[in-house]
Amino acid sequence: MKKTTTKPASQHKVLIPSLLAASVLSISMQAQAADSVFVGHLADMSGPTAFIGKVYANGIRDSLAYINANGGINGTKLEYETIDYAYKVPQAIASYKKWKSRKKMVAMQGWGTADTEALISFVARDKTPVFSASYSGHLTDPTGKNPNTKKPAPYNFFYGASYSDACRGLVQWAAEDWKAKGGEGKPKFTHIGANHPFPNAPKEACAEYATELGFDVQAPVVVSMKPGDFKAQCLSIKSSGSNYGYIGNLGGSVLSLVKSCNTVGTKIQLMSNIWGGDKKTFAAAGEGIKDYIFPAMTPFWNDDVPGMKLVREISKMSDTTGKKERLHHYMRGVCSTYFMKEAMEWAEKNGGITGENVKKGMYAKSDWVPQGLEGVCLPANWTDTDHRGINQVNIYKGNFNAGEVAIDKVTTVTLKRRDDWLGY
């Protein structure tokens, strides 16, 4: 910068350049601050849900990298940090507080149910939108409209049907399946999972709907989220005569359950939560996987839909060859990030990218599919009184035959947005 050599005639004239410099510096600092915003990312890369936690986390990270490589949010860069909190709630809370105080975080991509629910009051107070991989129904009532809602969650969002709604969709399918097979009397239904917020999230809600549909609901069977010998639990299921079982766990726990039940000859139609069914699980379980029912909220890697073109480009951010086959959990990570991206774009044009404006951006569109992801992300509808963005449950059947995994679509269940199901 060229140095000013003019001699001041008075003290007033000396101050003019100084004030001008300070003003320019202030404007420069403001512009620099607006050049980026920070997004926190909690992931389980080493804890009990890492089996698929890594897959989902890669979808988030690749998406954030791709967004930055293609202009960010209308020119604003996304700064981000991934922390492996190993599924430990205290670590998640500590990471959140660090990001808020040191990074001025405007939004967060989250993971588990226990930590997401523990953070509800923090994020509401701080006006920080959280896009979680927990689909707990407890996160869907932003105002406390339903008297049964434990805690209003105005800043919590997720892409997909809630665990409760997905389980309701599964038991609705099961009721029809029972009739189609000529079943007599009341079919029996059992919830199978760990005594933990994630498997427990839909337990009561799903049992109530199963009873409403005419099921004889059995006592829940507790199965650890860690792999183990579950033959005792399988014998309990067998002795109850249960016809349909909902699995609330995932990964190695599911593998152990399938193998243990096959060993003791438990005959039951297994249905799982959205994290408990995928090609990786089926391949590892091998011949034990027969007509395994599970929900999905995206297509699969080799499906021919328009939005897969963008997904494959995003995937190249960490796989330059473009040959790695991604599980559908990866695609849900992409969808979660891109709904956040477009809410940020709306915010940038309507007052700036703040947590409060990003939240408003989540209500700006109806039947919303992020641009370029047509056929990948289901049309979503969030409102300021209802955070059940998706009420459609696509149900699939997995089989393992002669070394090959086969996945076939069974049906689609569209659930009513009942007031008594909000936040539950």
Can you give the CATH number for the domain in which 150 is found?
A: 3.40.50.2300
Instruction: Judge whether 2 lies within some domain.
Output: no
Instruction: Judge whether 16 lies within some domain.
Output: no
Partners of 244 in beta bridges:
189, 269
Checking if the pLDDT of 14 tops 80, the result is: no
Ramachandran class of 151: left when φ > 0, alpha when ψ lies in -120 to 50, beta otherwise: beta
Distance CA 9, CA 85 (A): 63
**How many domains, the chain?**
2
Instruction: Judge whether 381 lies within some domain.
Output: no
Q: Does 228 share its domain with 114?
A: no
Q: Does 198 share its domain with 231?
A: yes
Checking if the pLDDT of 15 tops 70, the result is: no
Q: Does 312 share its domain with 286?
A: no
Asked if 190 contacts 167 with a C-beta cutoff of 8 angstroms, the reply is no
Q: How many CB atoms lie within 10 A of CB 402?
A: 6
Instruction: Judge whether 60 lies within some domain.
Output: yes
- Averaged confidence pLDDT in the chain: 93
Res. 286 pLDDT band, cuts 50 70 90? very high
Partners of 271 in beta bridges:
246, 293
Length of the chain (residues): 424
Question: Please, what is the end-to-end C-alpha distance for the chain in angstroms?
Answer: 63
Q: Does 253 share its domain with 307?
A: no
Q: Does 106 share its domain with 89?
A: yes
**Closest alpha carbon to 315 in 61, 33, 143, 50:** 61
Checking if the pLDDT of 341 tops 70, the result is: yes
Instruction: Judge whether 12 lies within some domain.
Output: no
Res. 23 pLDDT band, cuts 50 70 90? very low
Instruction: Judge whether 18 lies within some domain.
Output: no
Distance CA 57, CA 332 (A): 10
Q: Does 186 share its domain with 282?
A: yes
Model pLDDT for residues 204-249, shown as the tens digit of each residue: 999 999 999 999 999 999 999 999 999 999 999 999 999 999 999 9
Checking if the pLDDT of 349 tops 90, the result is: yes
Distance CA 353, CA 37 (A): 8
Model pLDDT for residues 358-370, shown as the tens digit of each residue: 999 999 999 999 9
Instruction: Quote the pLDDT of residue 28.
Output: 38
The model's pTM is 0.91
Model pLDDT for residues 312-339, shown as the tens digit of each residue: 999 999 999 999 999 999 999 999 999 9
> Computed from CA positions of residues 50, 53, 58, 61, in that sequence, does the dihedral angle turn out positive or negative?
negative
Instruction: Quote the pLDDT of residue 3.
Output: 38
232 membership: H or E segment, kind and range: helix 231-240
Instruction: Quote the pLDDT of residue 80.
Output: 98
Instruction: Quote the pLDDT of residue 402.
Output: 87
Q: Does 260 share its domain with 309?
A: no
Checking if the pLDDT of 382 tops 80, the result is: yes
Domain span holding position 53: 35-161+302-361
Q: Does 327 share its domain with 198?
A: no
Rg, C-alpha atoms of the chain: 25
Mean pLDDT (whole number) for 279-290? 93
Lowest mean pLDDT among 21-25, 66-70, 113-117, 340-344: 21-25
Instruction: Judge whether 195 lies within some domain.
Output: yes
Model pLDDT for residues 190-204, shown as the tens digit of each residue: 999 999 999 999 999
Helices (H), 70-138: 89-98, 113-118, 120-126
Instruction: Quote the pLDDT of residue 34.
Output: 58
Assign 354 to helix, strand or coil.
coil
Beta strand pairing call for 392-401 and 404-414? antiparallel
% of residues, the chain, pLDDT over 70: 92
Q: Does 237 share its domain with 254?
A: yes
Instruction: Judge whether 28 lies within some domain.
Output: no
Q: Does 196 share its domain with 139?
A: no
Asked if 246 contacts 200 with a C-beta cutoff of 8 angstroms, the reply is no
User: ∠ CA 410-415-416 to the nearest 5 degrees?
Assistant: 160
Q: Does 283 share its domain with 323?
A: no
Q: Does 125 share its domain with 271?
A: no
